[in-house]
Amino acid sequence: MKIEVGNTQLNVEDRGSGSVLLLIHGFPLNLEMWRPQIEDLSNHKRVIAVDLRGHGHSPPTPGSYSMDVLADDCAAVLAALRVEDPVTVCGLSMGGYVSFALFRRHPQLISALILSATRPGSDSDLAKANREKAIAETKQHGSQPVLDKMLKILLAPDTYESKPELVKNLAEIIALTSTKGILSALAGMKDRLDSTMLLGQINIPTLVIHGAQDQIITLNESESMASGVKNSRLEIIPVAGHLPNLEQPEMFNSIVSDFLASI
Ligand code: MLT
């Protein structure tokens, strides 16, 4: 379904009934990355998954997509769907950066947090320089170089060996990201705020999920993020990389279900 949000429309999937689990995808992905969660968890919850602007079937808009703009989009989606009670927000990687912005800007909307394969910190100088390089390359050659690079690091080394169908499916999912979407998301991530100080203010149940073979986020980063939040739990999924929800969907779903049942 398409939902009008400010100056654009966002593609949203809304399935199931009951209390809401809001799923926010990573870069350069879209809500299809949550297919195993939408199918399974919507049996017990209302699952709302959003294509962030410029991703999936949400058209690109001008300018950079700051994490604040993307968070406000998610808040507007909840309002448009007339969600009245606070929701559990599950953000993966860039979706985690958006979740921090959502907590900062609209804390009343959130009752619990699931942070997977993400970090609270802002980009280091090196990471900023790498974003600039990726932006320049994308301006010159289009989306393919960034998509090719991401396709090589999103999964665990073991997953590339054992799940060729998943690798193919992932290539199809990321191919939907427009060149403009890539440029704007890279610019937004490069300039995102440091949310490390926010961790101490998170006073709601929080689950951190880490893929043991993540090539982008280290275990140390997930551990220190979890230890910064008072009421948090850390779960490590073996034989999974940056997309544990796709690489080990049953384990991911069972960890999420247990967490949701506990709150
Ligand atoms: C993501 O998966 O969303 C990205 O790896 C995040 C990033 O580039 O910082």
Q: Is 97 in the pocket of ligand 1 (CB under 6 A)?
A: no
How high is the mean pLDDT of the chain? Answer: 98
Residue 102 — pLDDT band, cuts 50, 70, 90? very high
Containing structural domain, residue 125: 2-262
- Give every CB contact of residue 21 below 8 A, 6+ residues apart in sequence: 37, 41, 45, 46, 47, 48, 87, 88, 90, 256, 260
Average pLDDT over residues 32-51: 98
**22 burial type by CB count under 10 A (0-12 exposed, 13-18 middle, 19+ buried):** buried
Residue-level pLDDT at 243: 98
Average pLDDT over residues 240-259: 98
Please write the tens of the pLDDT for every residue from 75-97.
Answer: 999 999 999 999 999 999 999 99
Whole-model pTM over 0.85? yes
**Structural element, H or E, at residue 211:** strand 206-211
Q: Is 187 in the pocket of ligand 1 (CB under 6 A)?
A: no
Residue-level pLDDT at 6: 87
94 Cα nearest atom in ligand 1? 3
93 Cα nearest atom in ligand 1? 3
Q: Is 93 in the pocket of ligand 1 (CB under 6 A)?
A: yes
Pocket probe for ligand 1: among 25, 66, 216, 222, the residue whose CB has the most ligand atoms within 8 Å is 216
Q: How many domains is the chain partitioned into structurally?
A: 1
- Give the long-range contacts of residues 128-135, CB within 8 A, separation 24 or more: 128/190, 131/186, 131/187, 131/189, 131/190, 132/190, 134/186, 135/183, 135/186, 135/187
Residue-level pLDDT at 7: 87
CATH code, domain carrying 215: 3.40.50.1820
Residue 104 — pLDDT band, cuts 50, 70, 90? very high
Q: Is 232 in the pocket of ligand 1 (CB under 6 A)?
A: no
Q: Is 189 in the pocket of ligand 1 (CB under 6 A)?
A: yes
Q: Is 181 in the pocket of ligand 1 (CB under 6 A)?
A: no
Q: Whose CA is nearest to atom 4 of ligand 1?
A: 27
Average pLDDT over residues 110-134: 98
Q: Is 176 in the pocket of ligand 1 (CB under 6 A)?
A: no
Ligand 1 midpoint to CA 26 (Å): 6
Q: Is 216 in the pocket of ligand 1 (CB under 6 A)?
A: yes
Please write the tens of the pLDDT for every residue from 213-228.
Answer: 999 999 999 999 999 9
Residue-level pLDDT at 231: 86
96 Cα nearest atom in ligand 1? 3
- For the cut 90, the answer to whether the pLDDT of residue 207 exceeds it is yes
Average pLDDT over residues 168-184: 97
Pocket probe for ligand 1: among 33, 133, 149, 189, the residue whose CB has the most ligand atoms within 8 Å is 189
Residue 190 — pLDDT band, cuts 50, 70, 90? very high
Q: Is 94 in the pocket of ligand 1 (CB under 6 A)?
A: yes
Average pLDDT over residues 154-168: 98
Percent of the chain with pLDDT over 70: 100
